[in-house]
Structure 1
């Protein structure tokens, strides 16, 4: 097995934050707006959404829910939980 001493070995690539990617920022914005639009259409406030999430087993504070939505970088599971809590369904065609 050939061994390369440290001087010859190339440095590993520097990590780049996932959030820094423009495509991620675009989709996070779209996710945030999807939840906000759903809340507007159903007339649901953050406090009401928090209560509805609690009914389906998602235990979070209103501040936590508001922060997640404002950041937009939440999981797809949280997105689906929010939509389910507001009695909305996504239809994929």
Structure 2
């Protein structure tokens, strides 16, 4: 059974992988989030992703902002 830390690491890795596939930085993500009406700084985004304890809402906002239509769980 996975621990909370292991789940957080997995979610963090999924989002970072999606950013890497698209060659996007945290600054790029902040700009794309602003484009869909989500105001957040590059530093806040970096900290949220580093912790891995962000909300599902934040995850979906990020995926929407970067144009992801699917999420690979492997």
* TM score, norm. by length of structure 1: 0.71
User: CA RMSD of the aligned region, Å?
Assistant: 1.2
Distance 1:89 1:31 in 2: 17
Match of 1:53 among 20, 28, 33: 33
Which structure has the greater CA radius of gyration? 1
Say whether 1:72 aligns with 2:72.
no
The count of aligned residue pairs is 70
Distance apart, 1:23 and its partner CA = 1.8
Distance apart, 1:61 and its partner CA = 0.7
Ranked by relative contact order (alpha carbons within 8 Å, sequence separation 6 or more), the top structure is 2
Runs (5+) with no aligned partner, structure 2: none
Distance 2:55 2:70 in 1: 16
**Residue 59 of structure 1 aligns to a residue in which SS?**
coil
- Map 1:1-93 to 2 at 5 A: 23-90=3-70
Distance apart, 1:90 and its partner CA = 3.2
**Residue 74 of structure 1 aligns to a residue in which SS?**
coil
* TM score, norm. by length of structure 2: 0.88
Distance apart, 1:54 and its partner CA = 0.6
